[in-house]
């Protein structure tokens, strides 16, 4: 029976990854919607129907759970940033622990208690805001949930660092005072495109990157804005981006004033490490929780039992550098050349002289190099591992493998493939909540050969 385009009443059984409410239709078919807590009932509008599942939009909650709370943000439910502000942090952890346990139940390994974030509000050290036309005013905001051509205005944003507000208001005020237009991603016209803000929270340093439509020469007309931003920022960049993609990309990146990077401090294994972060460097977005994550990696790896560590998808070298003092040698591999340059500089800044970093596609590198190593740390993108990387891990002589994942679904897929021949055993799984108020979760897995 087709229920598409019909309104039906359903009850939420539980929350599943990625933050969906799992319900059942009267015929027993699973239905997924968003915004319902376990036990709640609601009228939903069915938008998609398959043989095995349906999708629906939430219309009206008909009975509320005692677990439901009022969200702090007035844009909650519309903004794509948060998904769990309607639940206490204690219950958010409960939901995440449950869906991680269910996704990884096939491993037979008991999932460790989730390590929680020390900060649950105002924790994000990086934000990408988009310019948009808001009733003929150049406004800054975040994408609406599931929509890349509609936005919600900021402030407020209760997960971004509080200090970002000053930069947002400064740039908005300048744009409108001087009649600059916001970029339109349909017509590809307009000047201001994005505002990217980064903060080294433990060191209290601030980086601003103003992204505009393509400009052939250095925009001297932005100098008053740059001067104002420099009053509270360590680094101010201007980026020219003439591409049609809405992604934050750079045709031209120019340091307008200040240092070329900010420096974050992380305490790992009782020792302070310092990492330079440039505008497009990858760095975890929750500095306090990153310390918890990296200390857990260090504990699981037990580097006293390792000699040579292979750090795949190493980024700017944070994990490998924080372990280097405990092993004979670290080899880091990363596709992005600028990240490798940062990794080499970060190694020297932390007096790490036993680390080598190479700019290469990870799969290409492991095919060509048969270096002897006894431990691997792998922290891939959300898409997870390729079959080539999985084959390499299975055939490697590494005694210990640490898999750090930001996507439980691809992690489950990869772990099934890595362990299916029985050579590689999962020993421990620890989820880490790096992203309060959202459905996202980081997971660290220890495997042994």
Binding-site residues, in ranges, read: 284, 313, 334, 379
Query: Partners of 265 in the beta sheet?
Result: 274
Listed residue (267, 268, 257) closest to 207, CA to CA: 257
Give me 96's structure tokens.
């995440």
Q: Which class for 437: exposed (0-12), middle (13-18), buried (19 or more C-beta within 10 A)?
A: buried
How far, in Å, CA of 300 to CA of 397, rounded?
18
| Residue carrying the six token digits 């709370």 | 69
DSSP category for residue 117: P
HSE value, Cβ hemisphere, 13 Å, CA-based, for 369: 17
SS3 289: helix
Question: Which residue numbers are catalytic?
Answer: 406
Which long-range contacts link 299-303 to residues 24+ away (Cβ below 8 Å)?
Answer: 300/400, 300/402, 300/428, 300/430, 300/444, 300/446, 301/375, 301/377, 301/400, 301/402, 301/446, 302/400, 303/327, 303/375
How far, in Å, CA of 336 to CA of 319, rounded? Answer: 16
Rounded CA separation 111/98 (Å)? 10
Distances (CA, A) of 443 to 102, 126, 433: 14, 21, 9
| List of residues 6+ apart from 411 with CB closer than 8 A | 103, 104, 384, 403, 405, 443, 445
Neighbours of 375 (CB within 10 A): 23
CB 318 within 8 A of CB 266: yes
Provide the annotated binding site for S-adenosyl-L-methionine. 284, 313, 334, 379
Choose among 314, 364, 365: nearest CA to 344: 314
């Amino acid at each position: 029976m087709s229920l598409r385009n019909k309104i039906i009443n359903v009850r939420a059984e539980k929350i599943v990854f990625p933050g969906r409410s799992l319900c059942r239709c009267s015929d027993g078919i699973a239905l997924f919607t968003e915004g319902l807590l376990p036990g709640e009932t609601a009228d939903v509008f069915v938008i998609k129907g398959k043989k095995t599942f349906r999708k629906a939009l939430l219309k009206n909650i008909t009975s509320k759970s005692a677990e439901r709370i009022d969200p702090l943000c007035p844009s909650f439910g519309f903004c794509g940033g948060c998904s769990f502000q309607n639940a206490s942090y204690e219950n958010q952890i409960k939901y995440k622990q449950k869906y991680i346990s269910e996704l990884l139940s096939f491993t037979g390994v008991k999932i460790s208690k989730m390590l929680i974030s020390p900060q649950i509000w105002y924790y994000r050290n990086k934000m990408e805001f988009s310019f948009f036309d808001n009733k003929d005013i150049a406004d800054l905001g975040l994408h609406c949930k599931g929509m890349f051509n509609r936005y919600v205005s900021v402030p407020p944003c209760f997960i971004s660092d509080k200090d970002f507000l000053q930069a947002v208001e400064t740039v908005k005020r300048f744009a409108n005072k001087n009649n600059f237009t916001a970029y339109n991603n349909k017509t590809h016209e307009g000047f201001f495109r994005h505002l990217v803000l980064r903060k080294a929270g433990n060191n209290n340093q601030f980086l601003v990157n103003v992204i505009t439509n393509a400009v052939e020469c250095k925009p001297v007309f932005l100098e008053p804005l740059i001067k104002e931003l420099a009053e509270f920022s360590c680094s101010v960049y201007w980026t020219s981006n003439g591409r049609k993609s809405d992604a934050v990309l750079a045709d031209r990146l120019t340091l307008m004033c200040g240092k070329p990077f900010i420096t974050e401090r992380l305490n790992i294994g009782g020792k302070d490490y310092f990492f330079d972060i440039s505008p497009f460097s990858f760095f975890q977005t929750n500095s306090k929780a990153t310390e918890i994550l990296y200390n857990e990696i260090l504990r699981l790896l037990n580097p006293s039992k390792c000699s040579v560590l292979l750090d795949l998808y190493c980024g700017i070298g944070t994990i490998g550098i924080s372990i280097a003092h405990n092993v004979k040698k670290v080899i880091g591999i990363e596709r992005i050349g600028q990240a490798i340059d940062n990794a080499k500089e970060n190694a020297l800044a932390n007096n790490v002289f036993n680390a080598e970093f190479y700019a290469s596609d990870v799969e290409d590198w492991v095919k060509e190099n048969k270096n002897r190593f006894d431990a691997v740390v792998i922290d891939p993108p959300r898409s997870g591992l390729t079959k080539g990387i999985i084959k390499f891990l299975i055939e490697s002589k590494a005694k210990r493998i640490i898999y750090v994942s930001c996507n439980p679904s691809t992690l489950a897929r990869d772990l099934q493939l890595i362990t299916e021949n029985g050579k590689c055993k999962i020993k421990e799984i620890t989820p880490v909540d790096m992203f309060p108020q959202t459905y996202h979760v980081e997971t660290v897995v220890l495997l042994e050969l």
